[in-house]
Amino acid sequence: MINKSFVTSPELSGLQAVKAHYLMLNGTMKGFSSFLEDVIAFSGLGDYIHLPIKGYSQGMVARLLFAVLTGIAHDCLALDEGIGAGDQRFVEAAQMRLDAFMAKAGTLFLASHSVDLLRRFCRRGLVFDSGRIVCDQPLEEALAYYHHHLTNP
C-alpha cells in the first residue's frame, strides 16, 4: 500500500497505531470503536492488537494495514501486491472486501505481477521499465506488451 509506514513507531501497539491513523484521517474519535472492532475482526489480530507492532510478523502488519486502509471509504486506494499476505481465508476475505471497497471508492492503483489479480480489479494497465511508463493501454493490451517486451529478453 502506498504508505506502509502509517505506523510512526514500531514501539506503538496496534491499537495505538490504528487510533493515531483514525484521528489523523477524521480529526475526531467519533465512530472509532466500531472502526476498531472491524479492524480487529478483519485482520484477525485479536488481543495482539494491544502488543507492540515490532513483535508482529510481516503478515500481521500487512493484514492490519489492509484492514485499516479499507475500513474507511476513500476516493482512491493504492496497493502493491496488497492482498498477498496471509492465508487463503484472509486472501479471499480481502478480495471480497476490496470488491466492496471498489464499489464505494472507484479508483484503485494496483502494482502486481499477478495476472489474475490484475484482471479481477483493473481495466487499464501501465507498464513501467526502468521507472518510465512504456505502455498505457487497456489491461489486456498492457499485459500483452509486458509479456512480449519485458519478459522475453
Which CATH number covers residue 33? 3.40.50.300
In a domain, 53, yes or no: yes
| 22-29: average pLDDT | 90
For residues 111 and 94, is the Cβ–Cβ distance under 8 A? no
Strand extents, DSSP E, the chain:
76-80, 107-111, 124-129, 132-138
Residue 51 lies in a domain: yes
Question: Rounded to an integer, what distance in angstroms lies between the CA atom of residue 21 and that of residue 126?
Answer: 30
Domain-embedded: residue 104: yes
Burial of 31 (0-12, 13-18, 19+ CB in 10 A): exposed
Q: Are 108 and 138 in contact (CB under 8 A)?
A: no
Residue 1 has what pLDDT?
44
How do beta strands 124-129 and 132-138 pair? antiparallel
> Among 151, 122, 153, which Cα is nearest to 138's?
122
pLDDT(6) > 60: no
Residue type at position 63: R
Backbone angles phi, psi at 67, to 5 degrees: -60, -40
Nearest-angstrom CA–CA distance, 55 and 22: 22
**pLDDT digit string, tens, across residues 30-87:** 999 999 999 999 999 999 999 999 999 888 888 898 888 888 877 777 777 656 556 7
* pLDDT given at position 83: 60
Answer whether residue 138 is part of any domain: no
Domain-located, residue 6: no
Q: Distance between CA 66 and CA 53 in Å, rounded? A: 15
Give domain status of residue 63, yes or no: yes
Within-domain flag for 127: no
Across 4-22, average pLDDT: 81
Higher pLDDT, 99 or 23: 23
pTM as predicted: 0.74
Please give the biggest Cα pair distance in the chain: 55
How many domains does the chain divide into?
A: 1
pLDDT at 10 over 80: yes
Residue range of the domain that includes 23: 14-108
Q: Between residues 141 and 131, which one has the greater pLDDT?
A: 141
pLDDT band of 2, cuts 50, 70, 90: very low
Contact yes or no for 136/124 (Cβ under 8 A): yes
Record the cell numbers describing residue 72, joined without a space: 474507511
Task: Convert the pLDDT of each residue in 93-140 to its tens digit.
Answer: 888 887 887 777 667 888 888 888 889 888 999 999 998 999 999 999
* 48 in any annotated domain: yes
